[in-house]
Structure 1
Amino acid sequence: MRHFCDLDDEEQHALGIIPEENLDIEKQNPLHKSQQPSKPARKNESRVSVILLDQGLFTVYKRLFVMCLALNVTGLVLASTGHFPYARNRAALFSIGNILALTLCRSEAFLRVVFWVAVKTLGRSWVPLFLKTATTSLLQSLGGIHSGCGVSSIAWLVYALVLTLKDRDNTSTLIIGVSSSILALLCLTSLAAFPLVRHLHHNVFERTHRFAGWMALCLLWAFIMLTISYDPKSRSYSKELGSRVVKSQEFWVTVGITVLIIMPWLTVRRVGVKVSSASGHASMIRFEGGIKAGILGRISPSPLSEWHAFGIISDGKKEHMILFQQHSISL
């Protein structure tokens, strides 16, 4: 469920949304936020040092990242040494498959099904507590698989490009150019997701991830159509695709990626809101219509740029609400 809200200045102030031009004022006057002194920072620790040193070396997220990357690296080694001929002949498919996997890890519709199955299966009194805890930790750290598949897709695409360049007589310059552009966009999105960039410049990360991702998807469709229609014998493109498209595994995987990316945008609605501030620390935004409590809701004053996720409070009948911590959103 997503909401696109038009907020006036008073409502944005109540929600704690800080315009970009006011960020410097907020930094210069830390008492402006709540008129109360903030908690003292730990001595000699900058934000950068916290990001680099206080994240833990063996978190579930990082274990999933390493596991995902290790599996793909193993596949790459086997393919490059001739022990995995299918992967060698379908390197681009493995790259696209990794993109499908990382998209699934961020698909709310897919994750809702996964969580529902997990609760129905493990949410019983006789299931051991350690199994419930381990499953919960795993589901909360699927971002590790998302990141691992992102890096792996780049590795497979580089491998596919190397093989293509070695066999340039059987491909076209246009196909090489499109695949190189996709590689550049994937590298850009991965660099934008690097912890230092993501934490220190979060809006840059959000917008780069979104717009570069959309551009890469469009180029991926161009790549699929070009590779299916290209005839290396005549060195020309055929207009009669027909059965080639249906039989192409890359085509169907790309269809899955496209559907997963489009689905969330079908739930976006522009809605009216009522904002109230019960204290200097929290604000409540209310929407019409009751829904099931516990569902995740996303709101944005600028839907193409960024989204902010919050838990939903609802009576299940007339309205649902989101509770904000004051100044929790910085635009």
Structure 2
Amino acid sequence: MSQSSVQDSATFNEKDVLAKPADVHMVSAKSSITFELEPAAAALPKDDLAASESLEEKESSLSLDEKAISWEDFRNDDYSDKKQGRLARNLRFQIFNIYRRLFSVVFIANMAIFIAFCVRGASVPKLGEIAIANLFVAILCRQDYVINALFLILCAAPKSWPLWVRLKLCRVYSLPGGTHSGSAVSGTVWLILFVGQATRDFVDGGEVSAATLGVTYSILLLLLVIILFAYPSLRSKRHDTFEYFHRFMGWTVVALVWAQVILLNNDYKGTQSLARALRTNPTFWLVVVLTASIALPWTRLRKETVRSEVLSNHALRLYFDYDEPVPGSFVRISNDPLLDWHSFATISEPGKKGFSVVISRAGDWTSAMIASPPPQIWVKGIPVTGVMRIVPLFRRVVVVATGSGIGPCAPHVFAKRSAIQLLWSAPNVRETFGDKLVDSLLEASPNAVIYDTRKNGKPDMVKLVARMVKEFEAEAVCIISNPSLTRKVVYGMMSRGVPAFGAIWDS
């Protein structure tokens, strides 16, 4: 996804004050933003009934380019109404965000037990069981069906429930990521203790074999490399490397864990057979389930026929016919299933079979796709729900998208399960994404704001969203944009007491 970053503030020239609705389009009964007709239409006699009726008909049939909107009071908005002191709000909304809180809960709980085991001591098999249990949770909470089930259950709450309850349920979108990373890091720490205890046991001539010890050291080394490249700053700089390490080293770890479980059970089986030792050991069944969890999406690997629509030299729309995903879902596609996978939001419309995805130019892969759209493409697993799945929990919500971020937002506009005020900001909107998509959004949501940054400059998005929240009386804000702008808008709203949600880029 490629969007323009938005600066903290923006000045508007005189030419920015009146913007054509192809650039900015807004209808709001409570808004101080006003519609103005073109001079020729405004000059019609007001006392002439026929002329008035003709004017109304003409206004309703005018293209968006023939209307104008005044933004004179926008730049004078005062939005310096943050609810807490600088230190308190930075700690709450930036340093200890929901993702990090979930990570901390999982990690601290593990470390409390870890310290107790260090003081009281524990057997090698018990430490191995705890380490694998953490890896089991880390893998299972990122499984497609588990994620969809969590969203399905927690986002099924009726809008009549108190807002504070629904806001708690919204945290489901951070649950898989925070739990995944917390459990994975905790499992690695437990494995370090396991290695230390197993090494001591081996040196003292205990049950642990050299083969078990060698496999365990290999697992620990691979997990440390995976965690290193998963560190946020390194992951963003070397994302392809992170993906390759995460996938191929992860598969290697699973294979080695199988070897470790078999070898360790063989070391401690005593007089019983190895088969019985494995069958009665819970660790063995944890490994069975986590392996099936990883393999399941790959059992649904197939090549799907797609219909392509080149929107511009910057964007492509692909149409699929095989599923009808719920709003807020994404699908993973690839030209080479063993290497690169790319996730794109699904755009589905009620009553229409299939879905589409919008791909915008953001690198070599997307550029090649736009230049030469494929007739078929690899698809893995099922459509998986993400952060935008929470939109139906709110009665009234401001949905913000920049560039191709409109993809996750559009299905909610079409579904109309909540009252939505859409803000879509992008350069050369119609030229880039085509009239078909723009007009379908405006047809479904006539009050949508489509802001062309190429013609009107970059606005202060926090100020603009704050204005919309106030006028629309929204319960929350959901934004799909680049990382910097998402964090800026989410912080800007949360620090002013407005619930706001956006992607967290945890994978």
Task: Give the TM-score range, shorter chain.
Answer: 0.7 to 0.9
Q: Deviations over 1:128-182 (max 9, x none)?
A: 1122122212433531221111111111001011111221122111100000000
**Unmatched runs of 5 consecutive residues or more in structure 2:** 9-92, 367-507
**Unmatched runs of 5 consecutive residues or more in structure 1:** 1-15, 17-32, 43-54
User: Which of 275, 280, 303 lines up with 2:308 in the alignment?
Assistant: 275
Secondary structure at the aligned position of 1:210 is classed as helix
Secondary structure at the aligned position of 1:286 is classed as strand
Quick check: which one's helix share is greater? 1
Distance 2:304 2:158 in 1: 38
Query: Is the contact made by 1:98 and 1:150 (CA closer than 8 Å) also made in structure 2?
Result: yes
User: Which of 132, 135, 141 lines up with 1:99 in the alignment?
Assistant: 135
1:126 aligned onto 2:157 = no
1:204 aligned onto 2:247 = no
Identity %: 27
Distance 2:269 2:297 in 1: 39
Q: Deviations over 1:265-298 (max 9, x none)?
A: 1122112222212234432011233424424311
User: Which of 258, 274, 296 lines up with 1:263 in the alignment?
Assistant: 296
Call closer, same or farther: CA 1:268–1:92 in 2, change over 3 Å: same
CA shift for structure 1 position 319: 3.3
| Higher deviation after alignment, 285-294 or 149-158 | 285-294
Structure number with the bigger relative contact order (C-alpha 8 A, sep ≥ 6) is 1
Distance 1:110 1:233 in 2: 37
1:157 aligned onto 2:191 = yes
User: Which of 326, 339, 355 lines up with 1:320 in the alignment?
Assistant: 355
1:217 aligned onto 2:251 = no
Q: CA RMSD in A?
A: 2.9
| Higher deviation after alignment, 202-211 or 101-110 | 101-110
1:291 aligned onto 2:328 = no
Q: Deviations over 1:103-132 (max 9, x none)?
A: 122111111111111123xx2133211221
User: Which of 55, 58, 65 lines up with 2:96 in the alignment?
Assistant: 58
Please report the TM-score for the alignment, with normalisation by the length of structure 2.
0.51
Distance 1:293 1:260 in 2: 22
CA shift for structure 1 position 252: 0.7
The aligned length equals: 279
Please report the TM-score for the alignment, with normalisation by the length of structure 1.
0.76
Distance 2:238 2:277 in 1: 44
Distance 1:74 1:167 in 2: 24
- Counterpart residue number, 1:23: none
Distance 1:241 1:233 in 2: 9
Query: Is the contact made by 1:79 and 1:88 (CA closer than 8 Å) also made in structure 2?
Result: no
Distance 1:172 1:232 in 2: 13
- Counterpart residue number, 2:281: 248
Distance 1:142 1:329 in 2: 30
CA shift for structure 1 position 56: 2.4
Distance 2:364 2:314 in 1: 13
Give the residue type in structure 1 aligned to 2:229.
Answer: A
Give the residue type in structure 2 aligned to 1:116.
Answer: L
CA shift for structure 1 position 91: 0.8
| Larger Rg over CA atoms | 2
Secondary structure at the aligned position of 2:288 is classed as helix
